[in-house]
Structure 1
Amino acid sequence: MNLDTQIRQYLTGQSAKAYHVFGAHSAHKFGQDGTEFRVYAPYAANMQLIGDFTGWEGWQMDRRDDGVWTIFCKDIPQGALYKYRTTTQEGRVIDRADPFAFYSELRPSTASVVYDIDHYHWNDGAWMAERGRDYKRYNSPMSIYELHAGSWQRDFENKETASTPEERENGRMLTYRELADRLIPYIKEQGFSHIELMPLTEHPFDGSWGYQATGYFSATSRYGDPYGLMELIDRCHQAHIGVILDVVPLHFVTDFFGLHQFDGGFVYESANEAERCTEWGTVLFDYTKPHVISFMKSSFDFWINYYHVDGLRYDAVSQLIFQHGDPNAAENDPGIWFLKNTNYYLQQTYPDVMLIAEDSSNYIKVTAAPQYGGLGFDYKWDLGWMNDTLEYLSLHPNDRNYSRHLLMFSMAYFYNDIFILPLSHDEVVHGKHTIVDKMWGNYEQKFSQTRLLYLYMCAHPGKVLNFMGNELAEFREWDENKELGWNLMTYPVHDAFNRYCRRLHKIGLEQRALYDTEYDPRAFRWLDTPGSQQTVFAFARRSADGQQTIACVMNFGLNPAQVNLPAVTGQWHELINTDDQQYSGSGIVNEGNVSGHVKLAPLSGCLLCNG
C-alpha cells in the first residue's frame, strides 16, 4: 500500500496501522539509509525537527497538502532524543513530543526517543497457538491479578539509582526484567492464570497510575525499554500466564509537550470547551474526527501486535457511552461509534484477544457483537456485584436478615452480559479502606468474613479479578509510592489468609464445575435452606458433562448453622472450609463424606463437591 493511501485511510478513520506511517522509522531514500520522521499537524504554520543530533536547533520539515509534515535524516543513532518544534498560526513556538513515538525519555524529561522496535525475538509460539484454540477463555478458568508495576515490590538494595526522591525513600522501582524475575514465580505459586497491568502507556505523573497518558505507543520508561516489557510478557507466556493491559481511550493530559492543542489547533480534542474538558482536569478525545478513531484504533492494534498482549481492559467505558458518563444524559454517539468500530475491527483481526469493559452503567449489549447491536466487548466488569457484596458485608449481621437481595440480585441479571467479578484498585484507595477493613466487626471477624467473601467470589459464576495486596489482607490502603506490605507474611493470621487464598485460587482452576459452564444459566441454581436463618445462602454449580456438582454454602450470621443439601448420587466431600484451623478458623469443618447435612460456624462457609 503506498503512502498516499495509508495517510488517506488514517484521515478517514479507516487505519489501524498508522504506527507504520507516523513517528520515526528506518528508511532508505536517495541511496542512503536513515530515519524518516512524519507527523500530522494540519494547523501548524511551520514544523521543525529538533533533537540532540541537531544541537536542539530546528531542521525544517516539508509539508504535504493533507497537513502531514516529513523529514528524512541520515545517521540518526538509536536512542537519539527528538521533538517537533511547532510554530502555531498565532506565532507561538512549542516543542512537542511525537504522538507516535515508540519510546520516551524518563520523566520528568519529555523528549521522544528513536527506537527500533521490530527486532525482539519472541519465544511464546506455544502459548500463542494455544491461545488461538482456547477461544476467549469463556469455558476455561481465569483468575486475574491486577498489578501496578511500580509498587508491587521495590528494590531497597539499589536505592541510590532511583530516579525520584520518593524512590530513594521507598525503594527503587523494578525494571520490566526484574519484575519478571520476581512476579512470575509468585503468580504461579498463588494460582492466578493472568496478570492485568495498569496502564503502561507513557505518562508524566506517577500519581495518575498511568490513566493520564501522553504516549499511546510508548511503553513507559519508568521500568526500562520496550524490549524489557516484551521480555516480561514473553516470559509470562512461557510460564503459561496471560497478560491483560489497561488502556485509556477516553482522555489525555493537558501537559503542553503532549497531544493537547498539538499544533495550536485542536487535533485530538474538540474545539468546544464544553465537550473538551473533564472533571479530572484532562481532555477528552474527539471521536467525531475520523483520524482520532484511527489514532486510538492503531494504538490498540499496536499493543496487541507488537507486545502480544492477551487482552485489553478499556477504562471508563460509561464515559464513552453517555455524555460526561451520566446515564441520565444523552448517549454519546461518537463514543459509541468509536467502540463499535474499533471492537469490530479487533474482533475480526485478533479473534483470540479478550476485550474487557470497565463499565459502571446499565447500558445493554455491552458484550454483544457490533453486528447484533452490541459494543463488541467479550467481558464486562460486574461493578454492581462488587458494590452490593461489599455493602452487605459492611452491615452488622443482625441487619443482614433484611438485605438478602444484596447477595442474590447479581444472578438476576448475570446472564444479560458476560461478567468479570472485580475487587480492583479502585476499592482500596482514597479513604475507601482495604477489602479486609471494609468488613463489619472486630479484627478476627474481619478475617472470617473476608475469607467468606473470597469463597463467594470463587464460587459465583464469572471470572474473578483481585488487586495486588488483596491476597495479603492489607489494612493499609494502596500507595503508588510504596511496595505492598510483604512483612505481613510474618504474622500468622496474614500468612494463613494467604495460604487460604492460594488454595481457593487453585480450586477455581481445578474444579470444572466452577468454570466450564459459567455463562450457562442451566448450570446454576439457588438451593433452598429451610429452617436456616436469613443469613444463610446456598447454591450449586454443575459441570458441562453433568458429572460434577459444586455446592457453596455460606453463613453470614453470628450463630452456628446447619444446612441440608439436596440428595444426589454419591457423597459430597468438602473441598475447603473458611473455618478450617489452618486458615485461622475455629475448626468447625465437615470431615470425610458428607451425606447432606452441612454444619457451619458463625461467619463461615464451605465448598463441597459431588462427582
Structure 2
Amino acid sequence: MKKLNILKYDSWLSPHEWDLEYRMSLLQKTKSRLLGESGKLLDFANGHHYYGFHETKTGWVYREWSPNAEAMSLVGDFNDWREGNFELKKLEHGNWELEVQGELPIGSRIKVRVRANGQTFDRIPAYIQYAVQNKETKQFEGVIYRSTYKMKNVSPRLMEAPLIYETHIGISTEEYRINSYKEFTRDVLPRIKEEGYNIIQLMAIMEHPLYASFGYQVSNFYAASSRFGTPDDLKELIDTAHGLGLLVLLDVVHSHAVKNVGEGLNLFDGSEYQYFHAGEKGEHPAWNTKLFNYGKDEVLHFLLSNLKFWQEEYLFDGFRFDGVTSMLYHHHGLGTSFDSYNKYFSMDTDVEAVTYLQLANELVREVNPNAITIAEDMSAMPGMAMPISDGGIGFDYRLSMGVPDYWIKQLKEKSDDELNLHELWHELTTRRPHEKNIGYAESHDQALVGDKTLMFWLADAEMYTKMDIHSQSLVIDRAIAFHKLIRLITFSLAGEGYLNFMGNEFGHPEWLDFPRVENHDSYQHARRQWSLADNPELKFQYLLAFDKDMLLLEKTCHFMDEGNNFLEQKWIQQEEKLLAYQKGNLLFVFNFHSTNERFLELYYDLEQTPELLIDTDNGKYGGFGPRNHFEYDKTEKKLKIKLAPRTAFVFKV
C-alpha cells in the first residue's frame, strides 16, 4: 500500500501509521456501505428531496423517518390541531408517508403527532424549512412554506486570500431589538463590502429556541431562523452578497443538538437513540446538549443531506464547522491538554466522527468544487486541513485558535514590556505542514460576556470618557497603538486567511451579552454601535481606517495565501522590542517598545527605494506622525529605519 503523504509531511506521525491507515479504511468501508461500489455522495445526500413536505400535481406529500413510532398524524391550525384524516401510512425501514389531496394552506402552523411507547406527543417535522415561535406558548411550531425568490447572481470566484467578516444578523442593528435579514442586507452588507472583506460568515442561521445560545443549540437543522425573517429574506441576503462580490459561509452546527423535547430531534420518535447516542454517551457534559451517533447510516444521511440542502437551496459557498474538537473525542476535549501525539490516536478519539467529517468535506466539494470549509478545532488534530487523499480530514482551513488566547493572556496577565517576541513569533508562525490556517486576533468568543474584546482589555473604562478626538489620554493612546500592532502582525503572520468579528475592526466597546433573565432581558449589549465608527468626533474612526488599509495589503499584493514558504525573519531583538520580516513582497517592521524609539538597518539589494504602504503612526490611524522615518542607501544597500514606540512600517520591496 502506498504510504500516505501525511506521514511524509510530519515524521512525528510515524508511530501512528496504523491509526491513519485505519481511518482511511473506515472511510472506504463506510462509503461502500452507503453508496455501493460506484455511487456518489451527491446522489446519497438527498434526504431533503424525499423527507419533509413536497408539492405534487394534486397536493402535497409529507414523509418522515420515525422507526420507533406506532402511529403518526399531521396536525395544525388547518384542522384545529385534531387528529383526523391526516394519518401517515407506515412504509418500510421506519419511514412514514402522507399524501394530501388538494391545497395545504401556505402558512399553516403544523406538527406531527406521534404515538410511541404507549404515549402520544407532538413534534416539529425533522426536515421542516420554516418554524416560528408561538407567542402564547413560547414553543416553536412548523410552518408550511413555499419559496418564491429567484436567485439572480452567481457565486463570485475568490481571487485573493479569504478575508472573513464573522456576523450575527440579530445583533447587527444599533437599536435595542433583533435585526432582520432585510435590514442586514440593506445596511450592513454595503459596509462589509466597503471595508474590504470578501467573505461573510453567518452565525445563528439554523433555527434555535434560545436566542442567547448564539445559535449553537440547534433545534431545526433545515430551517432558517424565523427571528430574522423568512427563508426568502435570507435568500435575498445571500443573492445580494453574491452581487457585491462577497462569498457567504454558513456557521454549521453538526457537533450537537438542543435538548428540548418537542422543538428538535430529541426523543422525536420516543426513543433516545434515533439520532443520538443512548444514555450518558449521548449527553454533552458541559453544554447540556445531545450528541449525534455518527456511526449510524440514517444520521449520516440526515447530516450530509443537511449540508447539500444549504448549498442547493440557499447557495451558501461553504461552511465553518463549529465544535469540531467536541466531535473528534469522546471526552470532547474537556480538561485535556493536547501535548502528545498519542492523544490524537487514543481510545478517546471518535473515529466515526472523523469519518463523518471526511464524508462532509467530500460531499461539499461534489456539490460545489469551489466551496470553502473551515474547522473550529482547538486540539490541532494532524491532517485537519489536509486533503483526504493525503490522509487528512479534508478541510481547506483550520482556525488559528491559539492566537486569540495568546493575546488575551498577554493583555490580561503581562505588562507590555513582558511581551516576548520570540514566543510571539513562534505562536504566529508555527503550524502544521501543508495545512492552511485562518488567523485572527479575536472572534465572537472573546467578545462574550465574562470576557472582554481586545480594545476593552486595552482601554477599559476610559473608552467611555476619552474616545472623543479632543480628549487626551495615555491609556487610549496606548490602546489604539497596540490594537493596530496586534491586528497587523496577526493579519500578516497567523494564517493564509483572516477573520474578524463584526465591530471589532473599529474597537467596538464592551462585551456581547444576549437578552436573558440575568440581565433583565436587556439589548444593551446585543447590538452593534456602528455610529461610533462613523462619528468624525470619535477615535473609533481611526481603527476602522487602519483596518481598511490593512486589508488592502492583501488585495493589492496577494501575500497571505503563499503561507510561510515566502516568510523570512529579517530582525528580532527582544530587549529593544524590534521585529522585522518579509512575507511575499512585503516587509513588516515593528517597534513594540512602550517608551523608546528604535533604529535599525536592514541590508537590501534593491533597484529603487522601497514603497511605504503603511505607517501605523499616521494621523489618519490615530497616530502622532510624522515621527517615523526611513531612507534607502543604494550604495551601501541599506534600508535605514527609525520607529517611534508602538509603531510599525509596511513596505513593498
Q: TM-score range by the shorter chain?
A: 0.7 to 0.9
Q: Secondary structure at the match of 1:553?
A: strand
> Which residue in the other structure is 2:10 paired with?
none
Matching residue within 46, 50, 56 for 1:17: 46
Cα drift, residue 46 of structure 1: 1.3
What is the CA distance between 1:416 and its match in structure 2?
4.4
More deviation, 600-609/270-279: 270-279
In the aligned structure 2, how far is the partner of 1:217 from the partner of 1:430?
29
Give the aligned residue type for 2:89. Answer: D
Equivalent in the alignment of 1:493: 539
Instruction: Give me the whole-angstrom Cα distance separating, in 1, the residues matched to 2:97 and 2:80.
Output: 19
Amino acid of the residue matched to residue 206 of structure 1? Y
Superposed CA deviations along residues 526-564 of structure 1, whole A, max 9, x for unmatched, are 11256x73521111012xxxxxx2111111112211222
Q: Identify the residue that residue 587 of structure 1 maps to in structure 2.
A: 625
1:49 aligns with 2:74: yes
**Which residue of 2 is the match for residue 358 of structure 1?**
376
Aligned mates of 1:287, 1:429 — CA distance in 2: 30
In structure 2, give the amino acid aligned to 1:314.
Answer: F
Q: In the alignment, which of 304, 309, 328 is matched to residue 297 of structure 1? A: 304
CA distance in 2, matches of 1:409, 1:495: 30
For residue 323 of structure 1, give the secondary structure of its aligned residue in structure 2.
Answer: coil
More moved, 306-315 vs 58-67: 58-67
Aligned length: 561
Shift in Å at residue 389 of structure 1?
3.8
- Give the structure-1-normalised TM-score: 0.87
Give the Cα separation in 2 of the matches to 1:325 and 1:279: 9
2:505 is aligned, of 471, 485, 496, to: 471
Of the candidates 614, 619, 627, which is equivalent to residue 576 of structure 1? Answer: 614
| Structure 2 residue aligned with 1:248 | 253
Residues 455 and 507 of structure 2 are in contact (CA less than 8 Å); yes or no, is this contact kept in structure 1? Answer: yes
**Alpha carbon RMSD of aligned pairs, Å?**
2.3
Moved more, 389-398 or 242-251: 389-398
Following TM superposition, by how much is the alpha carbon of 1:27 offset from its aligned partner in structure 2, in angstroms?
Answer: 1.6
Is 2:201 aligned against 1:196? yes
Kindly state the Cα deviation for residue 269 of structure 1 after the two structures are TM-superposed: 0.7
Question: Which of residues 474, 483, 490 in structure 2 aligns to 1:457?
Answer: 490
Please name the residue that 1:545 is paired with.
none
1:427 aligns with 2:427: no
Pairing 1:460-609 to 2, within 5 Å after superposition: 460=493, 461-480=495-514, 481=523, 482-489=526-533, 490=535, 491-512=537-558, 514-515=559-560, 517-519=561-563, 521-529=564-572, 533-542=575-584, 549-558=585-594, 559-569=596-606, 570-590=608-628, 594-595=632-633, 596-609=639-652
The Cα shift of 1:592 comes to: 7.8
Pair 1:462–1:9, CA change in 2 (3 A): closer
User: Is there any run of 5+ residues in structure 1 with no aligned partner, and where?
Assistant: 1-7, 157-169, 543-548
Instruction: Assess if the C-alpha contact under 8 Å between 1:398 and 1:557 holds in 2.
Output: yes
**1:425: how far off?**
0.2
- Give distance in 1, aligned partners of 2:627 and 2:492: 18
Shift in Å at residue 68 of structure 1?
0.8
Superposition TM-score, scaled by structure 2 size: 0.82
> What corresponds to 1:112 in structure 2?
142
| Cα distance between partner residues in 1 of 2:556 and 2:410 | 29
**Counterpart for residue 81 of structure 1:** 109
Distance 1:345 1:526, change over 3 A: same
Alignment check: 8 A CA contact 1:85 1:94 kept: yes
Equivalent residue for 1:260, pick from 261, 266, 272: 266
Distance 1:604 1:391, change over 3 A: farther
* Corresponding letter in the other structure for 1:348: E
Alignment match, 2:87: 60
Residue type at the aligned position of 1:40: W
Letter in 1 for 2:233: G
Cα distance in 2 between the residues matched to 1:410 and 1:277:
32
Match of 2:327 among 320, 333, 341: 320
CA distance in 2, matches of 1:594, 1:428: 43
Which one-letter code corresponds to 1:34 in the other structure?
G
Q: Secondary structure at the match of 1:465?
A: strand
Given candidates 139, 161, 171, the residue that maps to 1:141 is 161
Give the Cα–Cα distance (whole angstroms) in 2 for the partners of residues 393 and 561 of structure 1: 23
**Secondary structure, counterpart of 2:500 in structure 1:** strand
Superposition pairs of residues 89-488 of structure 1, within 5 angstroms: 89=117, 91-106=118-133, 108-117=138-147, 119-125=148-154, 128=155, 130-131=156-157, 134=158, 140-154=160-174, 156=175, 170-171=176-177, 173-257=178-262, 258-265=264-271, 266-326=273-333, 327=338, 328=343, 330-394=348-412, 395-401=414-420, 404-413=422-431, 415-422=433-440, 423-439=442-458, 442-460=475-493, 461-480=495-514, 481=523, 482-488=526-532
